[in-house]
Amino acid sequence: MKNSKPKVTIIGAGNVGSTFAFALMIRGIAREIVIVDRNAEKAKGECMDLNHGMSFTHPTEVYSAGYEGCKESDIVVITAGAKQKPGQTRIDLVRTNADIFKEIIPEVLKYAKDVIIIVVTNPVDILAYVTMKISGLPSNKVIGSGTVLDTSRFRYLISQHCEVDPRNVHAYIIGEHGDTELPVWSNASIGGMQINKYCPTCKNFSHCKREKELGKLFEEVKNAAYKIIETKGATYYAIALALVRIVETILRDENSVLPVSTLIEDYYDVDDVYLSLPSKVNKNGVEQFLRIELSENERELFRRSADSLKDIIKGIKL
């Protein structure tokens, strides 16, 4: 890290940005948190509210600023952009948010040339790719939040179905953070047992239609954001926790494996696109993505996910 006191700057003081700042402050892994928003009063108000709870948390300096607040940041997290509305897909946001990023990224780099950027705004995979191209930063330093949240949803729902602690479920959602994402059932396990071998040990096995139930479970994962947006307008608690986990493994140089969105090269015929795969993350960003073995069907779905995003990227002027 550049500083003995790790610094994280958050671009965007909306639901996701402010909730992330709250979760990050409680976790105590950053000693300096800056919130930047075009609505300076909103950013100032969020910081005041956070600071009034400082006596209950770890010592942290929290304040609002313009883009100059990015100076000497270890990590800049971008949550700003048009938000997803009910009935709208993440891809529907691409042109609007790509234009917003063309304004944000140069401003960030005026003050923070050697920084790790985490992109959260949707469509996250496309915007992470756009960020890499605009910034000129090496791909390991531009990270999309990817399917870290989707994977958490996946593990939670498997744990509920199988009646086990979600921390003992090891399974990943990969590909796009969106409609073409896919579950890696071929590598899913519970307590060290592949899921297809664990199922016969489950007390519900005799009346569980396994393939149908697991298919419904994945559909619930894929459509979770749409349902939450319909009911409360936005998702922000779980993604805030997912972001804290990503930031934590960077600041603490943990070498943790997380399914972040990163530049994919030479993997099952997929090249030059940001998608999520389990990746080793440390103080340098993404050290490498893991070339996990996929079933033939999973390979085909992964390629389709890549192709769908690359078709959209072609229409963006970079």
Beta strand 116-119 with 142-144: parallel, antiparallel or unpaired? Answer: parallel
- Four-CA torsion 259, 265, 271, 272, nearest 10 degrees: 80
Q: Measure the CA–CA gap between 219 and 35, rounded to whole angstroms.
A: 35
Q: How far apart are CA 250 and CA 253, in angstroms?
A: 5
Strand partners, 63: 34
- Bond prior to 183 in cis (omega within 30° of 0): no
Q: Is there a contact between 313 and 129 (Cβ–Cβ < 8 Å)?
A: yes
End-to-end CA, the chain: 31
- As given in the structure block, the two tokens for residue 159 are 């744990």
Q: Hey, how many other C-beta atoms are within 10 angstroms of the C-beta on 105? A: 25
Residue 177 is a catalytic residue: yes
Q: How many Å separate Cα 116 from the centre of its chain?
A: 14
Which residue type does 223 have? N
Which residue among the candidates 52, 58, 161, 177 is catalytic per the annotation? 177
Q: Which residues are catalytic?
A: 177
